[in-house]
Amino acid sequence: MTSNSRSLRGDIVFAFALALACAVAWLVREVLMMLYVSALFAVVLTPVVRFTARLRIRRWQPFKGTAVYFLIVAMAVALTAFGFLALPPVIRDMQEFAREMPARLPALLERFKQIPFAGNLNMDEISAKLQDFVSNAATYIWLSIRDWAVKLADLVMGFVLTVYFILEGDQAYAWFLSFFPTESRDRLDKALRRARIRMDKWLIGQGSLMLILGVLSTIVYLSLHVRYAIALGVLTGLLNIIPVLGAAVCVALALLVAAIDSWGRVLGVAIFYLVYLQVENSYLTPRIMKNSVGLPGLSILVALLLGSAVGGVPGALVSVPTAVLVAVLVDEYLVKKDPA
């Protein structure tokens, strides 16, 4: 009777402790999401850091012990170059558009009426809303500064956490494994290492596809004289890290920018994407991504939807590595395998 009462009290205390932990986790869910995303980015970036640290110029290893700092400097240089090369045309056109919007609005609406089915829309109402938006644009921008500042602070903090996870990842990983019993620790360690290998292969394959698409799209945009060709090309390559959704956003944005000048450029961009998608799906992806992730397309799409719903853009970015991790753990602990 005494043993049963102690067991009952222990179960009640455990239930209350679990409920309290869940409540605290819900309150700090954004912080936990940032930690998880940073840790996952550290996992997929650690091979890049190690590869950089092993680079040799004859007998000299220039980045030994400083590979992480070299990665930070390289990213800062890349962002600075992108800002100087790609952003000035966008800012200049936005300023000109804001100044000339009242005078050019009637011509834009007449051009918009030429689009099929656009005649059914109420142009007077659309014109009034556009003029109201332009007149209050400064107010909208001022009110959104705080939100952008918070997002920028979160981005910087996530980057700092990623660097710390890269530098102290082994200690954090050992501390995480220490919470599990000794008899099951080795099994979990082997499963997580298998997941890490698949994540590394995914990073190499996805990085190759991003580079190919970014370079080709930039060349096509420049040859078609599409506005903001460099910015669109870089953004197209970067967004390709998000399966399905990234490509859809790139296509829509490129077509929208091309439509500012001529429908011929829209046709050229559309033809490029149709040809590229055929080449990527039939040739590039089977050869570059072969055996890298090992997940069916449906599971990747479901992971993308769940990641976007839970964590927005950061959740979508880590959806595929998370799906790989879940698949490895499910295969190790839940799937009943044939002993033969």
Look at residues 214, 194, 234, 203 and name the one whose alpha carbon lies nearest to residue 84. 234
Report the pLDDT value the prediction gives residue 256, as an integer from 0 to 100.
84
Token representation of residue 293: 């992730």
Higher pLDDT, 181 or 121: 181
* Mean pLDDT across 105-134: 59
Report the pLDDT value the prediction gives residue 266, as an integer from 0 to 100.
86
Q: CA 298, CA 300: separation in Å to the nearest integer?
A: 5
Residue type, 269: V
For the chain, which residues make up each domain, given as ranges?
A: 27-87+135-179, 183-340
* Mean pLDDT across 202-206: 78
Report the pLDDT value the prediction gives residue 110, as an integer from 0 to 100.
65
Residue 236 has pLDDT above 80, yes or no: yes
Q: Which residues contact 115 (CB under 8 A, 6 or more apart)?
A: none
Q: What is the pLDDT of residues 40-98, one digit of tens each?
A: 888 877 877 887 777 777 777 767 667 777 777 877 787 787 777 777 776 776 666 66
Higher pLDDT, 230 or 119: 230
Report the pLDDT value the prediction gives residue 59, as an integer from 0 to 100.
74
Cβ-contact 293, 324 below 8 angstroms: yes
* Mean pLDDT across 154-168: 83
271-284 CB burial, b ≥16 within 10 A, e <16: ebbeebeeebeeeb
Q: What is the pLDDT of residues 295-314, one digit of tens each?
A: 776 777 788 788 877 777 77
Question: Whats the size of the chain, residue-wise?
Answer: 340
Report the pLDDT value the prediction gives residue 5, as an integer from 0 to 100.
63
CB neighbours (10 Å) of residue 164?
15
Report the pLDDT value the prediction gives residue 134, as an integer from 0 to 100.
56
Q: What is the pLDDT of residues 237-281, one digit of tens each?
A: 888 877 667 777 888 888 888 887 778 888 888 898 888 888 877
